[in-house]
Structure 1
Amino acid sequence: MRWNTWIRQIHRWLAIIFTVTVVVTFVALAQEEPVVWVSYAPLPPLVLLMFTGLYLFVLPYAARWRGGRAVARGR
């Protein structure tokens, strides 16, 4: 599998993990005595999502800068 495919798969799984942590955070903070530190749980997947998302965003532009491979022209 190519490097770009790995990044896409990691990005998809991070999105699922982020969604689950946000749901868990909402449930935890809705309790009678909420545990406030749980609100920080979504931040690590969010940071990783940001980096993988930026990589995927720049990927077509980088391909065009490197010489216009077929990926940049719409496959």
Structure 2
Amino acid sequence: MNILIRQVHRWTSIVFTAAVIANFVAMGLGEPPAWVVYSPLPPLFLQLFTGLYMFVLPYAARWRGEGRTVGQE
């Protein structure tokens, strides 16, 4: 499950970056349509949730008693 979350996070970062670049290109050509302006938002929200999940993983493992804890090296 963790590997899948990491892969989704990586691929959505690529999609997000491409959407932002397309947004800047469209703005340079004139007034962009609304769907171009808002196109970076879905991958951004998906990155938010996957990023928060990955951020909490070490703390959750520590709460469950798995893995190393601070000071036990």
Q: Give TM-score, length-normalised by structure 1.
A: 0.84
Moved over 3 A (4+): none
RMSD: 1.5
| Matched positions, count | 69
Q: Identify which of 29, 32, 35 aligns with 2:32.
A: 35
Q: Identify the residue that residue 55 of structure 1 maps to in structure 2.
A: 53
**Letter aligned with residue 35 of structure 1:** P
Report the secondary structure of 1:17's partner residue.
Answer: helix
Q: Which has the higher contact order (CA 8 A, sep 6+)?
A: 2
Q: Identify the residue that residue 11 of structure 1 maps to in structure 2.
A: 9
Q: Mark the runs of 5 or more structure 1 residues left unpaired by the alignment.
A: none
Q: Identify the residue that residue 42 of structure 2 maps to in structure 1.
A: 44
Q: Mark the runs of 5 or more structure 2 residues left unpaired by the alignment.
A: none
Identity %: 55
